[in-house]
Structure 1
Amino acid sequence: MAETARQDVGEVLIVTGMSGAGRTTAANALEDLDWYVVDNLPPQMLKPLLDLTELAGGVLPRVAVVVDVRGRDLFSDLPNAMRALRERRQIRLMFLDASDDALVRRFEAVRRPHPLQHGGTILDGIRRERARLAAVRESADILIDTSSYNIHQLATKVADLFSEEGAARHTLTLQSFGFKYGLPPDADMVADMRFLPNPFWDEELRPFTGEDPQVREYVLEQEGARAFLDAYSQALRPVLEGYQRENKSHSVVAVGCTGGKHRSVVMVRELAERLASVPGVAVRISHRDLGKE
């Protein structure tokens, strides 16, 4: 009896196309979207991989497999392998293409031979590859011409195609810290809260932290505190939007005070509330020095 398609398994995407058209960039973009990516898999290994994804249940919900002419003679079996697998479950194929001129320029820029060049010119290799891929291209579910794309534009295109609706394109970590313990080495931007009075010098507030309501109230009542929050959160919005356009998937904004216990903790919380509404951004909070003496 023929094996019926499974409805409880995850997505499978085959990524292929012309050498130099951006397969690696596309694979990296999918990996950033939390796809499980397998590179340079022979078509004959697709069935065992699908078996594994079914056995794994929900552990591998989205799998992308890069299959291309680096597989040499094994690659020619891709059309047959795809037909057999599509009888079993839903599989999509994404084909990346580009003009001959664009591909030649890219190979010349990296000073590497085309995998099918075989002692000839780069253009000879491109023509051989087009002939081998003609049938595969015809069966593609998604066709992307990358001739006019740079790597950032291609990554954005892939993200637009495969991001889950409402999924974050960028993760922002807001991290409080104490200057006396040193700057966070991975910070993209640093804000200094030492322009505000330090609750440490108030004996009633000293034992508490910025997580406590009395410290929060004290900090936010200080002159300039709310004005800073409003202005800084507005200044960060176009930055976060630009990070998404440039496919920068993560950034760290470090907010410091003297010890990382009072002012910076309050301001990180307040900034997180203001920035949570930025489209495509997931906001995380980290307090690096909160537990230190």
Structure 2
Amino acid sequence: MNSRPQDKAGQGLVLVTGPSGAGRSTALRALEDLGYEPIDNLPLSLIPRLLDGPPIQRPLALGIDVRNRDFSVAGLIELIDALTARPEVSPEVLFLDCRADELVRRYGETRRRHPLSPEETPSDGVQSEIDLLVPIRARADVLIDTSDLSPHDLKAEVVRWFDRTTGGRLAVSVQSFSYKRGVPRGLDLMFDCRFLRNPHWEEALRPLDGRDPAVAGYVAEDPRFAEFFDRVRDLILFLLPAQVAEGKSHLAIGFGCTGGQHRSIAVAEKMAKELAEAGWQVSKRHRELERRTATAAALQGERA
């Protein structure tokens, strides 16, 4: 990702662009949740007129891709330059990048036609669009590669970059995950819980997860747990004020274990509780539980 420019006064405006299928709709929904007014596929020629109209109370998030009427790379670059020159506008370009093979896979799953190759295979249009957008990608203020991101992950990244609602407070995200499925993107601090005793090997505990008191108690009985937890908590509490002084608005802390079901969840739950009790703004996320829920919902939908 690129470094984000300094915020300046004026009408907030985020131009959301990138290759088709990279997650523009998800990003626009995330920005809407943050208080932005989203408008998708507005013709480029109408954007200056929109800004010349009556004052807009909310920041704008405009979705732009090759399907926009009168779209051209040169036209979009000229628009970015013109908006940047206007002192009353604070434009930022959010470019959602994605690998070609992943875009082809997404088109295959949805069976949609690519806008640049409606009568051909999606791969032809995907590569053509990626090549076409290279100059715009180079102009991005914020670049997010969505190749390996779930919609939830992408939303979290958008929030990380564009949430201005914390009023100077640091928002702390505590996450659990499975190392087998890879480390989540965007973590600032990460701790390995795989050395703790594993409830997976207890038949009665195996189907439960770390939110269950029986599982949490089992993990906490490990002789190494108390010292590990206290040291990590004290380190985090020491670092949080320093992150605020540095100007950060978000801090993501991850706890991982083998399956992401027992130990990492138990530690993340306890840590989130104690940080909240210490006065910090804390949210929780258990990635593998979300994956299981999403898979179960998809299977149920297929049977319906």
* Aligned-partner residue type, residue 43 of structure 2: P
TM-score by length of 2: 0.51
**Quick one: distance in 2 between partners of 1:94 and 1:18?**
12
| Aligned equivalent of 1:147 | 147
1:72 Cα offset (Å)? 5.0
Instruction: Render the CA deviation track for 1:236-266: whole Å, top value 9, x for unaligned.
Output: xxxxxxxxx9xxxxxxxxxxxxxxxxxxxxx
1:80 to 78, 82, 87: 78
1:99 Cα offset (Å)? 0.4
* Aligned-partner residue type, residue 153 of structure 2: Q
TM-score by length of 1: 0.53
Q: How well do the aligned residues superpose, as a CA RMSD in angstroms?
A: 2.7
Alpha carbons of 1:12 and 1:46: their partners in 2 closer, same or farther (altered >3 Å)?
Answer: same
Q: Is contact 2:43–2:70 with CA below 8 Å preserved after alignment?
A: no
**Quick one: distance in 2 between partners of 1:18 and 1:150?**
17
2:118 counterpart of 1:118: yes
- Aligned positions, number: 170
Secondary structure, in 3 states, of the residue corresponding to 1:159? Answer: helix
Secondary structure, in 3 states, of the residue corresponding to 1:88? Answer: coil
| Aligned equivalent of 2:281 | 279
Instruction: Render the CA deviation track for 1:47-70: whole Å, top value 9, x for unaligned.
Output: 012223xx326x22x111111111
Matching of residues 1-293 of structure 1 within 5 Å: 9-52=10-53, 55-56=54-55, 59-60=57-58, 62-71=59-68, 73-76=70-73, 77-89=75-87, 90-164=90-164, 166=166, 277=279, 279-280=281-282
| Aligned equivalent of 1:193 | none
* Aligned-partner residue type, residue 130 of structure 1: I
1:276 Cα offset (Å)? 11
Alpha carbons of 1:276 and 1:132: their partners in 2 closer, same or farther (altered >3 Å)?
Answer: same
Instruction: Render the CA deviation track for 1:96-153: whole Å, top value 9, x for unaligned.
Output: 0100111011111111111111311111001221222111111111111110101000
**Quick one: distance in 2 between partners of 1:67 and 1:118?**
19
- Gaps (5+ residues) in structure 2? 1-7, 172-212, 214-251, 253-275, 284-304
Q: Is contact 1:44–1:74 with CA below 8 Å preserved after alignment?
A: no
1:36 Cα offset (Å)? 1.0
4+ runs deviating over 4 angstroms: 274-278
Larger Rg: 1
* Aligned-partner residue type, residue 41 of structure 1: L
Q: Is contact 2:21–2:103 with CA below 8 Å preserved after alignment?
A: yes
- Gaps (5+ residues) in structure 1? 1-6, 170-230, 232-244, 246-273, 282-293
Alpha carbons of 1:275 and 1:117: their partners in 2 closer, same or farther (altered >3 Å)?
Answer: farther
1:166 Cα offset (Å)? 2.3
Instruction: Render the CA deviation track for 1:207-252: whole Å, top value 9, x for unaligned.
Output: xxxxxxxxxxxxxxxxxxxxxxxx9xxxxxxxxxxxxx9xxxxxxx
